[in-house]
Every structure is written in C-alpha cells, then in structure tokens.
Amino acid sequence: MTLARVLFYLMSFIVLASAVFVASTKNLVRSVFIFFITLFGLAGLYVLALADFVAITQIVIYVGGILVLILFAFMLSSRENLDAIQQQKSRFLSVDKLSALILAGLFFVVMLNMIFKMDTGNLGWIKQAVSANNVIKPTDLVTDNIGINLMTRYLLPFEAISILLMIALVGAAHLSRKEEME
C-alpha cells in the first residue's frame, strides 16, 4: 500500500466522518466548525487528485467565504431561534424522515451500482485523452497558468467580483450593527 493510498483513505474517512457529524448534530455552531474540517479534507483529496487549483479554490472560497457567511448568519440570528432549533426532539428514524431516508438509500444503491459496473480502463474519453497526450502530470504547472490568466486576461472581472464581495461584506457589517432605540 503506497503513501498516496493511505492518505486517500485517511482523508476520505475524515471527510465522511465529519460530514456525518455535521448532518447528525443538533448544535449548529459545532456543526459549522466541523464543516470546516470536511471542506479542508475535500481540499486534501483534490490535492491528491492533482487538482491544485480546485483545492486552493475550495479553501479560499468555501472555507474562507461561505463558512464565514454562515457564521455571520448565526451571529445575526436571535438566541431564541437557535435555542428553539436545539430543543427540537427528533429521532434518527421517524415517519417524518422516511422519504429522505428512502431517497438517500436509493442514491446509495445507484452509486454502488455505478462503482461496481464502471470499467475505468475502457472509458472512451480517457483513451482519447491518453492518445492525444492530454493528461495532467504531477510535474505540470496548472496553477501557474491559471494565476497568469487571472492576473492578465481576466483581471477586470476578477476585480469587479472582489469589489462586489467587499460591498456585501460592508453591508453585512452594517446589518449586524445594533442601533440604539431613542
């Protein structure tokens, strides 16, 4: 067993275990912080798959942006709403959740069916990419090319998005400020 395979199984276990914890816990703040671990584990899996840019994007956008937005939502929520969510009584198996459990089970069966029936050595698009020498090697500098394109060809849209995100951040800070009643 190679080191890459051991790291893959380790990160897969971390991602799956933390995702199950996020879905099953009632404490929303803990759920968000464990979601950080899930997203970092996914970034590690992307690095193992030689998708460096996707891993960096995963960390910057999802961990850096989306989860901070979720934390803002918790800070803006009233304490009564959060307590009401935590006080709800629910069991893992109940009539209310029956349709969701059946749907999840069906998706799991379809996923297992695809995994066992798929022959990755005979996929047409993989054969075509190998014959055209269109394969990413561990020594390729994909992230450098994307960075150069972002800072030259796509600089204006990149800066426009950053300004829009800054406006959204200022708006969120303004909304979270408590105004005194006169």
- E strands present in 37-151: none
pLDDT tens digits for 46-100? 988 888 888 888 888 887 777 777 777 777 666 666 666 666 666 556 667 778 8
Given a cut of 80, whether residue 35 has pLDDT beyond it is yes
Q: What is the pLDDT of residue 88?
A: 65
Residues sharing a CB contact under 8 Å with residue 56, sequence separation 6 or more, in sequence order:
43, 143
Give CA–CA dist 36/62, Å, rounded: 9
Each residue of 2-29: pLDDT tens digit?
898 899 999 999 999 999 898 888 777 7
* Residues 119-148 pLDDT 10s: 777 778 778 887 888 777 767 777 777 778
> According to the model, what pLDDT value does residue 54 have?
83
Say if residues 58 and 42 touch (Cβ distance below 8 Å).
Answer: yes
pLDDT surpassing 80 at residue 172: no
Whole-prediction pTM value? 0.58
What pLDDT, on the 0 to 100 scale, is given for residue 1?
80
**Mean pLDDT of the 111-115 span:** 88
Residue 110 has pLDDT above 90, yes or no: yes
Whole-number Å distance between alpha carbons of 162 and 147: 16
Residue 10: predicted pLDDT: 93
Task: Sketch out the chain's domains with CATH numbers.
Answer: 1-76 (1.20.120.1200), 119-182 (no CATH)
Q: Is 114's pLDDT higher than 80?
A: yes
Q: How much is the pLDDT for 62?
A: 80
**Quick one: pLDDT at residue 178?**
62
